[in-house]
Structure formats: structure tokens, C-alpha cells
Amino acid sequence: MIDWWTAIDGEILGCLENHGAMSLQELGRRLGISEGEANAFVSMLVREGKLRIRQVELVPAADPGAPG
């Protein structure tokens, strides 16, 4: 039987090593999983001390004069 956690753990860590920091959406796209699944797996890796989340980015407010 395949140890699925070790497999996804390795895929996530390998993806981040090879491609650098990325959004959960991008990580999920690269691994063929949803953003929610990527979030859950990354959260587990953070709890295990294998990853650190070091950046929080403020999304700029929409320009009130911009169409949209």
C-alpha cells in the first residue's frame, strides 16, 4: 500500500523547492489538487514544522473610479 501522506508531502515540498514561494491556488494547480486541499496539506506541514508561512499580502482596494 502506498503511503499517500508521504507522497503528497514530498510532492508539495518538492514543488516549493523547485519553483519557490507561490499561492495556494498555484500550488494546487501545479499538483492537480484544489486550493482547499492545498491549504489543508500546507497547514499540516506547518503544524509538523516542515514549512513556514512568512508573507501576508494586503490586496489593494479597488479604485473607485475604475470600471468593474
Give the pLDDT band (50/70/90) at residue 66: low
| Residue 63 confidence (pLDDT) above 70 | no
The structure's pTM equals 0.76
- Specify burial of residue 55 (Cβ count, 10 A radius: 0-12, 13-18, 19+): exposed
Residue 52 CA to residue 43 CA, distance in Å, equals 10
Mean pLDDT along residues 52-67: 78
| Residue 23 confidence (pLDDT) above 50 | yes
pLDDT of the residue at 1: 43
